[in-house]
Amino acid sequence: MASIGRNLTGLGALAALVISVGCDNKEGPIPNVPPTAAQTPAEILPHLQYLAAWKNYKHLILIAPISPDVVFPSAWWFHKHAKDLNISLTPEEMQALGITKLAKRLDDLPRAPEDDYGIEDARLAFNAGIYRLIKGLPVKVWGDMKVSKVSINPGNNKVMDVMLSYNNRPMIQVSCIKKVDAGGGGEFYGVANIWYQVRPETIK
């Protein structure tokens, strides 16, 4: 996995865009309603917080790219990484995420299309992988997560790496890419990769 590249200017402004919605929310700055499309890489955080708290699986579509060159390798990575971190999905979650038929092979998915694993399966696995990694941390931790760094990925200048920190400790790197709104709403950022910097069980 690529290391974090150089900082971008204006990080303070980006981090300030993290949304805080609802005075009755007990988990800090977690949106009570689905966030709108991320116009900056840092705006991915409210989407992850929202998914962790409310488990609105349909919302995954908004932050998931659809191009095969991203979907296949990242779906493989998400579930491999989650297995290595001892994060699993329940049968109920698999059913809700539409990946029941992939259950037996989820931890070792193909990195490219196969006869019995096409792009639609890969997209469902990709979406499920995002949620699987998100659920590795308690909602309380997600509520206190901050954007601590935004940088250009050193291996691909079209990818932006967002470092998420908890108590000033780097926790998760989320790589983001621009995706085009199929409804004509312009470009916005989606998740291309997620990489834990520490094991979830070490978080107190």
Walk along the chain (204 residues) in steps of 10 and give the mean pLDDT of each run. 31 31 48 94 97 97 93 98 98 98 97 97 98 97 97 95 96 93 74 97 84
Predicted pLDDT of residue 103:
97
What is the chain's alpha carbon radius of gyration, rounded to the nearest angstrom?
Answer: 16
| Number of domains composing the chain | 1
Predicted pLDDT of residue 77:
98
Counting other chains too, the contacts that 18-23 makes at CB distance below 8 Å and 24 or more residues apart are: 18/42, 18/43, 18/45, 18/46, 18/146, 18/147, 19/43, 19/46
> Does residue 144 contact residue 203 with C-beta atoms inside 8 Å?
no
Predicted pLDDT of residue 181:
64
Predicted pLDDT of residue 204:
67
Q: Tell me which residue of 1, 12, 5, 55 sits closest to 146, measured CA to CA.
A: 12
Supply the range of the domain harboring residue 53.
1-204
CA dist., res. 197 & res. 186, Å (int): 32
Predicted pLDDT of residue 20:
30
Predicted pLDDT of residue 182:
57
Predicted pLDDT of residue 144:
96
Distances (CA, A) of 29 to 25, 26, 43, 121, 171: 8, 9, 12, 33, 17
Predicted pLDDT of residue 203:
85
Predicted pLDDT of residue 184:
56
Give the HSE-up count for residue 153: Cα atoms under 13 Å, Cβ half-sphere: 19
